[in-house]
């Protein structure tokens, strides 16, 4: 079993568009969307949800009003102004779950309870089994949720005897990205030919190198800035990173997204679809 993770330095580079097309082109695979903070692969797949599970990412403090004497100790200790003594309540959105108030409460009125942070799903999509999640607004522990759904995807792949996991990773280099790539077999970085794009590319390359994961690059919308695209290619050559493909800008990508289909399915004869097919062949070679 192999796992490829598609990454980008920021959102909007075309990472999910390419992942969706890979899902349509690959065989015997499991699909997983690890961009749990802003999951959108399901918008293209239109999956049928088979299982829904709760995700408890941390703990929040709650006051037992019957035990609370409104002594004010918790308010003095809380550095986040989460305590409302007048109502004997703690603001869930301000509470950081540090448990200091619970520890110092003289009557034991404050308890730490599991915080429902989101949901994760196992679904059926037109392109194969699909594991994805939805993290609640302003919730933390996205890395923990990513690790969870990756483990579920791997277990599902073993059950289905799938040979490949296609992982739509999070953008950037933060905790959810680290959770997305740890133990993966290959990272494909999607980059736009802009000054910020090459800066982001270097950061993601450094992260992948830290974990000793083989890395390739796809330059998307290459024709919007050929000079910067050449600069990215030179950087890759100097650092022994293979550019597996270059894709032109085409507004049919947006039309395919509106139709909720991968571009290689909705517009198979367009140049960009043929380029993505070539890109997938290069990815398969890299994984073999």
Q: Which of 147, 138, 148, 131 has its CA nearest to residue 115?
A: 138
What is the pLDDT confidence band of residue 222, given thresholds at 50, 70 and 90? very high
Separation of CA 75 from chain center: 37
pLDDT digits (tens, 9 = 90+) for 59-118: 899 999 999 999 999 999 999 999 999 999 999 889 989 999 999 999 999 999 998 999
Q: What is the pTM of this model?
A: 0.89
Give dist(CA 3, CA 165) in Å, integer.
Answer: 5
Set out the domains of the chain in order of their start, with CATH numbers. 2-46+126-287 (3.40.50.300), 57-116 (3.30.70.20)
Give dist(CA 145, CA 33) in Å, integer.
Answer: 11
């Amino acid at each position: 079993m192999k796992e490829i993770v598609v990454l980008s330095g920021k959102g909007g580079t075309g990472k999910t568009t390419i992942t969706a097309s890979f899902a349509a082109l690959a065989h015997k695979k499991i699909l997983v969307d690890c961009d749990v903070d802003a999951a959108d692969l399901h918008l293209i797949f239109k999956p049928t949800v088979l299982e829904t599970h709760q995700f408890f990412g941390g703990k929040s403090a709650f006051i037992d009003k019957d035990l609370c004497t409104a002594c004010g100790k918790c308010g003095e200790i809380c550095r986040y102004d989460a305590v409302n003594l007048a109502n004997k309540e703690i603001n869930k959105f301000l509470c950081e779950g540090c448990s200091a108030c619970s520890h110092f409460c003289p009557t034991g009125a404050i308890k730490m309870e599991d915080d429902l942070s989101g949901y994760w799903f196992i679904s059926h999509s037109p392109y194969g089994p699909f594991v994805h999640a939805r993290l609640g607004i302003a919730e933390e522990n996205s890395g923990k949720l990513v690790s969870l759904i990756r483990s579920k995807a791997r277990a599902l792949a073993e059950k289905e005897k799938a040979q490949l996991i296609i992982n739509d990773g999070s953008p950037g280099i933060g905790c959810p990205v680290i959770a997305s790539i740890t133990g993966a077999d290959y990272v494909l970085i999607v980059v736009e030919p802009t000054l910020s794009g090459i800066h982001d590319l270097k950061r993601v390359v450094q992260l992948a190198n830290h974990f000793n994961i083989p890395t390739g690059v796809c330059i998307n919308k290459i024709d919007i800035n050929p000079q910067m695209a050449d600069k990215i290619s030179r950087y890759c050559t100097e650092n022994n990173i293979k550019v597996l493909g270059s894709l032109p800008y085409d507004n049919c990508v947006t039309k395919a997204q509106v139709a909720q289909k991968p571009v290689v399915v909705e517009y198979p004869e367009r140049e960009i679809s043929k380029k993505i097919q070539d890109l997938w062949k290069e990815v398969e070679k890299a994984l073999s």
